[in-house]
Structure 1
Amino acid sequence: MPLVTQPFVPPAPVPRTRPPSRLEIIRTVMRNPLELWGEPSFRLEWMKTKFFTERTLIANHPGLVRHVLVDNARNYRMATIRQLILRPILRDGLLTAEGETWKRSRKAMAPVFTPRHAQGFAVQMLEQSRAFTARYDAAAQSGRIRDIAVDMTELTFDILSATLFSGQVAGTEEDFAGDIERLLSTMGRVDPMDLLKAPAWVPRFRRILGQNVLEKFRGIVKQTMEDRQRLMARDPEAAPEDFLTLLIRLHGPDGLTIDEIEDNIITFIGAGHETTARALGWTLYCLANSPSDRDRVEAEIDEVLASEPDPVKWLDKMPWTRAAFEEAMRLYPPAPSINRAAIEDDRWDNGKGETVVIEAGTTVLVMPWTLHRHTKFWDRPEAFMPQRFLPENRGSIDRFQYLPFGVGPRICIGATFALQEAVIALGVLLSRFRFDCVPGTRPWPVQKLTTQPEGGLPMRVTLR
């Protein structure tokens, strides 16, 4: 009888079995919000709770998720706490802008991120991934340990810089990944003043610690914009037709302001690549602990690379590779929470005689972290099982139970870009190298701006 191997269960907080006290809530949210969620959050289709005087609805039912984020999205604005955390970093970037500012920015940037346009970046993604592997040759020959979390941050920044900014991001340094970590560890986390909904002008201790890094990023963006503006003025035909040029051309009374252009550039430099980097790191970690899945992915990559030189076609020709990446995003969603607040009273009927009443002012939490691990919607939700996302199985997954890129009007504009980037990067890396975990390493998922591995992802890199 063949040996049946159990799927890998990666580390994650065990759901609480008792409600936390107010003090525990504050401590846990400051340390790691992923540790706050209790067993009902992974079992019930929706639940109401209250923190101090704030009414909160946790929405897990796919129909309720669709109602809030799609069907009646106009009745829901960005939640206050989310904005208090993110706006100091991104200001009026696409992730945090609202109203007319968001509409203008989204419309302006949409042409860059159509599937057809994203395919045009495939060759650059391939070139940057191949160039990055050169850094691994010496490490692989000696079996040296690398922090994959740091490496993936650098790789995705290289790809982002080359594709959207033509490699012309000013003043970037080798410690870029460390700067990102410092920024998100300080300004990208909840502060007690945020929980109390104190006005934005009330000092936040963590924001003060991150101010120098934020100013550094702002300086990089200003210099990048000025360099490009000078080039466009001096020789318009020499300016690359990329994302940066597009944004600068949108400056004007009917377009974007200089500040809005700066905010969107920093959104993509500081956060646009971060989500893909974390998902790539978690994918390599999960595959390293699931040898049978890794064998399938490696065999698929070897076959495709031997017969298909066009990276545009890899996304469709590598279903196991894509499935592994998507399963890693299910277990460790890059954006683990989606926060909204009801503008007016609302209600949703589940079609079975049950009604959810949503009063104006209620905070609605659509939590990919709990939704992706919900016991009602997933078989063995705690386990790494890439086969869930193979083409023949995808039909069983409701569109609104899996939200790695969000959904609705504010769905991630770069979703297609990110999926293509990930499959190309994995194809290049896993065709040449093998990634193995260091004994005793058990990374702990921590929610900052993204779901990050506390302590990094130390892994041994060897030649295949």
Structure 2
Amino acid sequence: MDTRPEPFEPPAPVPRTGIPSRLEIIRTVLRNPLELWGEPSYTLPWIETKFINQRTLIVNDPGLIRYILVENAANYEMSNVRRLILRPILRDGLLTAEGEVWKRSRKAMAPVFTPRHAQGFAGQMLRVCEAFVDRYAGASSEPFVTNVAVDMTELTFEILAETLFSGEIAVEKQGFAANVEELLHRMGRVDPMDLLVAPSWVPRLTRIGGRKVLDRFRGVVSETMSLRRRRTTEAPGDVPNDFLTLLLQLEGPDGLSTSEIEDNILTFIGAGHETTARALAWCFYCVANTPAYRETMEQEIDSVLASGADPVDWLGRMPHVLAAFEEALRLYPPAPSINRAAIEEDAWTSPEGERVPIRKGISVLVMPWTLHRHALYWQKPRAFMPERFLPENRDKINRFQYLPFGAGPRVCIGATFALQEAVIALAVLMHRFRFDLTDETHPWPVQRLTTQPRGGLPMKVSARVK
């Protein structure tokens, strides 16, 4: 039984009080942007602030979020700061492309990620997870300690490699998680020059050394494309009809350029699995701190697996497992901020008649991190309470108060893929093993493009006694 008098509150920065100096803001953003936000960001529907010469509108109201991301999305482009951080890594990949380039890429990839097509990956996801859990079983007959953050990065990479690339990514799986960690640590952080909105040609000292890591990833992309082209030429009847083949078939003047294909492959190899991996690790941690709910999940998993249900149906048949993952996504959104800038003057009027002016050029910040912990929209917002997401409670959640995958035209193309992958991974791992805390399990959330546990997430893994 879970004997806690109150729901478990996992670690997170306490809202800042007082007005920080400019130097304090810079130091905090460089250390961990999640620690910057003050009480108003967690209690008010919107706030307008100014830093140096850049005005920022921080948006939490679901109606205003809907207006910016959906109803008048054409008036909002990626903000300069976000562009300065991401474009050096992903260039014209789906996350960073804009205008016609983005439209071409999104249209080209949409068929692969329709819910029906994504469901077709369930069998492959299951096989990869079973092979992964066999490695756990082979590691030791006794309980052992492992860094779950690293393990989930490796598992989700293997799932992505098998489902979208038919296992033909030109990189060793061993050590891949460390390469991703290095890439995000060196290239995925805010530099002081970004805060000053300095031109991209101005050196970013915090990213020195990151170019080598990025070049290594681009080499992987180039070799992966070459291997598939060679296979297409030498054995055209034996080429898998996967994501990689689709992209290469679209190469040409009427489709995607070679560089656009490279950028999109890098986006998926370098970041496409990372968000799911982080949420899975946080989910294991939160569930370990909520033993009564964990038992409910285990019973649900055991029942569905004993029934022989097809893995394509697990997403719909494991509501408690899905709810735990969605609550982990709420508390630790892998993408903690959505950055836009207003192209032209705009305004929004609330249902109560309050007018919010949106100035031309203003930075607009929609932050899942604060939105998901906002006092106006959530009961006990800092607590891990998966029951919020059970089917009978789901209607209470406004579509625009919960944004783990964004919203509007740029909503995450792989949302269904990620949810199915997460439920299958949790089910396979929790069916055979139990994850518990150790004396060294003290994670702290840090923003490095994704919401990562600083220092990793060591947990004790032991075979379940049934």
User: Which TM-score tier does this pair reach, normalised by the shorter chain?
Assistant: over 0.9
Q: 1:18 corresponds to which residue?
A: 18
**Residue 148 in structure 1 maps to residue 145 in structure 2:** no
1:279-318 deviation digits (Å, cap 9, x = unpaired): 0000000000110111111110000000033000000000
Q: 1:413 corresponds to which residue?
A: 413
1:397-425 deviation digits (Å, cap 9, x = unpaired): 00000000000000000000000000000
| Alpha-carbon offset, residue 6 of structure 1 | 1.9
Identity of aligned residues (%): 67
With 170-179 and 115-124 compared, the bigger mean Cα shift is at 170-179
With 362-371 and 431-440 compared, the bigger mean Cα shift is at 431-440
Q: 2:250 corresponds to which residue?
A: 250
Q: 1:8 corresponds to which residue?
A: 8
Q: 2:196 corresponds to which residue?
A: 196
Cα distance in 2 for partners of 1:340, 1:31 equals: 23
**Residue 119 in structure 1 maps to residue 119 in structure 2:** yes
Q: 1:392 corresponds to which residue?
A: 392
Cα distance in 2 for partners of 1:62, 1:171 equals: 42
Pairing of 1:19-168 with structure 2 (within 5 A): 19-139=19-139, 141-168=141-168
Q: 1:309 corresponds to which residue?
A: 309
Amino acid at match of 2:406: G
Cα distance in 1 for partners of 2:122, 2:102 equals: 28
Amino acid at match of 1:272: G
Amino acid at match of 2:394: R
Amino acid at match of 1:128: V
CA contact (8 A) 1:144 1:460 kept: yes
| Alpha-carbon offset, residue 173 of structure 1 | 4.0
Amino acid at match of 1:456: G
| Alpha-carbon offset, residue 5 of structure 1 | 3.6
Cα distance in 2 for partners of 1:311, 1:121 equals: 9
TM-score (norm 2): 0.98
Pairing of 1:351-362 with structure 2 (within 5 A): 351-362=351-362
CA contact (8 A) 1:368 1:404 kept: yes
Amino acid at match of 1:445: P
Q: 2:234 corresponds to which residue?
A: 234
SS in structure 2 of the partner of residue 451 of structure 1: strand
1:216-237 deviation digits (Å, cap 9, x = unpaired): 1000000000010111122222
1:174-225 deviation digits (Å, cap 9, x = unpaired): 1100010010001000001111111111111232221111111000000000
Distance 1:158 1:173, change over 3 A: closer
CA contact (8 A) 2:48 2:55 kept: yes
Cα distance in 1 for partners of 2:49, 2:235 equals: 59
Amino acid at match of 2:278: R
Cα distance in 2 for partners of 1:420, 1:373 equals: 25
SS in structure 2 of the partner of residue 365 of structure 1: strand
Q: Note the aligned Cα RMSD (angstroms).
A: 1.0
Amino acid at match of 1:356: V
Amino acid at match of 1:437: L
| Alpha-carbon offset, residue 20 of structure 1 | 1.1
1:343-373 deviation digits (Å, cap 9, x = unpaired): 0000000021210000000000000000000
Cα distance in 1 for partners of 2:4, 2:276 equals: 33
Cα distance in 2 for partners of 1:226, 1:271 equals: 21
Amino acid at match of 2:251: H
Cα distance in 1 for partners of 2:305, 2:321 equals: 13
Cα distance in 1 for partners of 2:99, 2:3 equals: 57
Unpaired stretches in structure 1, ≥5 consecutive residues? none
Cα distance in 1 for partners of 2:145, 2:5 equals: 27
CA contact (8 A) 1:139 1:461 kept: no
Q: 2:224 corresponds to which residue?
A: 224
CA contact (8 A) 1:301 1:427 kept: yes
Distance 1:140 1:321, change over 3 A: farther
**Residue 336 in structure 1 maps to residue 336 in structure 2:** yes
CA contact (8 A) 2:43 2:375 kept: yes
| Alpha-carbon offset, residue 328 of structure 1 | 0.2
1:16-58 deviation digits (Å, cap 9, x = unpaired): 0112110011111011000000001000000100011101000
SS in structure 2 of the partner of residue 248 of structure 1: helix
| Alpha-carbon offset, residue 143 of structure 1 | 1.2
